[in-house]
C-alpha cells in the first residue's frame, strides 16, 4: 500500500495516502499536511488529499 510511494521522492515522511479517505496523494504536488502527536506521543505528519479532508479530520479530532 503505502510502500509503493516510499522512495519515489525525498519526502520527509512515509505517508502517501489521505488519512481521511485513503485516496492516493501526489506527494510531488502541494497538499495539506497537519503535524501532531499520536496517541503514543509520537510526532507524526498527517497528509490530506484536499483541504476538505483536512478540515474533516480537524473537526473530528476536536469533537472527541
Q: Is 6 near Zn ion (CB under 5 A)?
A: no
Report how far residue 31's alpha carbon sits from residue 18's, in angstroms, rounded to the nearest whole number: 10
Shortest distance (Å) from residue 26 CB to Zn ion: 12
Shortest distance (Å) from residue 22 CB to Zn ion: 7
Taking residue 64's Cβ as centre, other Cβ atoms within 10 Å add up to: 4
Nearer residue to Zn ion within complex by CB, 23 or 55: 23
Contact (CB, 8 A) for 23 and 17: yes
Contact (CB, 8 A) for 34 and 58: yes
Q: Which of residues 8-47 bind Zn ion (CB under 5 A)?
A: 18, 20-21, 23
Residues that bind Zn ion (CB under 5 A): 18, 20-21, 23, 49, 53
Amino acid at each position: 500500500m503505502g510502500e509503493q510511494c516510499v522512495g519515489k521522492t525525498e519526502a520527509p515522511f512515509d505517508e502517501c495516502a489521505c488519512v481521511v479517505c485513503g485516496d492516493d496523494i501526489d506527494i510531488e504536488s502541494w497538499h495539506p499536511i497537519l503535524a501532531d502527536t499520536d496517541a503514543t506521543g509520537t510526532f507524526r505528519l498527517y497528509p490530506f488529499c484536499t483541504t476538505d479532508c483536512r478540515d474533516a479530520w480537524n473537526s473530528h479530532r476536536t469533537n472527541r
